[in-house]
Amino acid sequence: MINVDEIKLVSGISWRNVWRNSRRSFLTFLTIVAGVTLIIFMRSLQNGGYSQMIEDSIAPLTGHIQIHEKGFWKNMTLEYAFQSDYELLGKIRGIDSVKEVSPRIYAGALMICGNSSAGAEILAIEPGAEKRITTMHQYILPGGRYLEEGDSRSVILGSNLASNIGAETGDTVSIVSQGFDGSIAAENLTVRGIFRSPNVSYNRTLALIPFEQGREIFTMEDYVSSYVIRTDDTDYVPVVLQEIKKIAGEELEVMPWDELMPEVLQFIAMDRASSHIFVFILYMIVAFGILNTIQMSVFERIRELGIMLSIGTTPGRVFSMVITESFFIAVIGIAAGLVTGAALSYYFTIYPIDFSEYRAEMELYGMSTLVYYAKMKASDFFITSGFVLVLSMVFTFFPARRAAKLDPVRAIRHL
């Protein structure tokens, strides 16, 4: 049975106790506010950084979801292709929050310019649709341009590939490979532009050609290597993925970005693990801050508590009183901490931390993400407040028990 009067009494006394030594309460309160603020802010920065990292690594080329014939991703050869299906394309376009879907042809080839040659990955794309899926067109170096609808015999080269074979915008390069039917595939192409993307491996090997040109060179008939899909937001990917899996045939593999680029998630997992350690330290600072101040408040009031006990207050009531005091402070502190944490995070959502000035240095370390903004997540707020509340209760338990177990006779004489 819950005794309402008892609760009223204890909470009333505790509430007054909180304010009786307001400076002490304020210290505890500050510890909690600072801890919660920092944790919320750090989590928000992490969320933002991770989504930006994901976005930056999948945006240039990968898209959100790709569909291939089963085995393509493992083998990455032209041999794995499927018959383009306009009905399926239409159905995918019809799914909510699918922004764009576009076919591609992928093949390895030898690229020749003058007397030099190098291995290259040829990707045949539809320039118009691709602009809505990927950001590669933003990385074209001055002097050149991206592929356009109606381009024929055109190619866009990665910057390192271009310099390896000594090709410049306007030059003619040749590609030699094998067609889908096994015949020799070869064509002379004019370099329309050169791109330098944040992903160095694309710059080293990738060459983009118009989709129709690719179909012709590799004798694809109506076969394609992949469909690439972009949704309105990375968060919609799991839902859209399930929808597509329902309508795609058995012989197709439907892969989300996190399967296409597992290294991004691996990096994030590693980074998250190290951040857990940091957050743990923050939690501990909060916990010991609470332990310290509550302990002090109990010490300070030994005489008072002794009198309470000797005039008949039960040890249980003293125990609840101390716990409730701490509870009040914690709840107010957490609430204030959430507000300041949200405010701080919001500032960095609008004004992200920008490392663009250090682009060259960052790229040297393989970091392509230059802008870090904060992104708040409701779950962080719940988890953080829950954790801090539980911690403050657990760490108040010891001083509260100490207060309850005081020997009244000795406590009264305590100075």
- Under the rule (CB under 8 A), what is the footprint of other proteins? 79, 110, 112, 115, 117, 119, 174, 176, 178, 180-184, 186-188
Cβ 128 to other proteins shortest distance, Å: 28
Nearer to other proteins, 185 or 370 (CB): 185
What is the sign of the dihedral through the CA atoms of 198, 201, 204 and 209? negative
Cβ 176 to other proteins shortest distance, Å: 6
Dihedral (C-alpha) 377, 381, 384, 389: value to the nearest 10 degrees?
A: -170
Nearer to other proteins, 79 or 259 (CB): 79
- For residue 407, give the 3-state DSSP assignment: coil
* Alpha carbon distance, N-terminus to C-terminus of the chain: 39
Six-digit token pair at 295?
Answer: 């302990």
Cβ 86 to other proteins shortest distance, Å: 22
State which H helix or E strand residue 237 sits in: helix 237-247
Nearer to other proteins, 78 or 129 (CB): 78
Cβ 175 to other proteins shortest distance, Å: 9
Integer angstrom CA distances of residue 144 from 137, 174, 192, 213, 406: 11, 18, 6, 19, 83
Cβ 194 to other proteins shortest distance, Å: 22
Nearer to other proteins, 133 or 175 (CB): 175
How many Cβ atoms sit within 10 Å of the Cβ of residue 382?
Answer: 11
**DSSP code at position 140:** B
Nearer to other proteins, 115 or 274 (CB): 115
Nearer to other proteins, 180 or 319 (CB): 180
Six-digit token pair at 67?
Answer: 């569909």
Cβ 98 to other proteins shortest distance, Å: 30
Cβ 118 to other proteins shortest distance, Å: 9
Question: How do strand 184-195 and strand 154-158 relate by DSSP bridges?
Answer: parallel
Amino acid at 198: P
Nearer to other proteins, 40 or 112 (CB): 112
Nearer to other proteins, 71 or 238 (CB): 71
How many Cβ atoms sit within 10 Å of the Cβ of residue 276?
Answer: 9
DSSP one-letter string for 168-194: -TT-EEEEEEE-TTSSEEEEEEEEEEE
The overall longest dimension of the chain from CA atoms, in Å, is 102
Nearer to other proteins, 117 or 275 (CB): 117
HEC per residue, 87-127: HHHHHHHHCCCEEEEEEEEEEEEEEEECCEEEEEEEEEECH
- For residue 77, give the 3-state DSSP assignment: coil
Integer angstrom CA distances of residue 251 from 68, 75, 180, 181, 245: 9, 15, 18, 20, 11
Cβ 72 to other proteins shortest distance, Å: 12
Nearer to other proteins, 52 or 178 (CB): 178
Cβ 283 to other proteins shortest distance, Å: 49
Chain length of the chain: 415
Cβ 70 to other proteins shortest distance, Å: 12
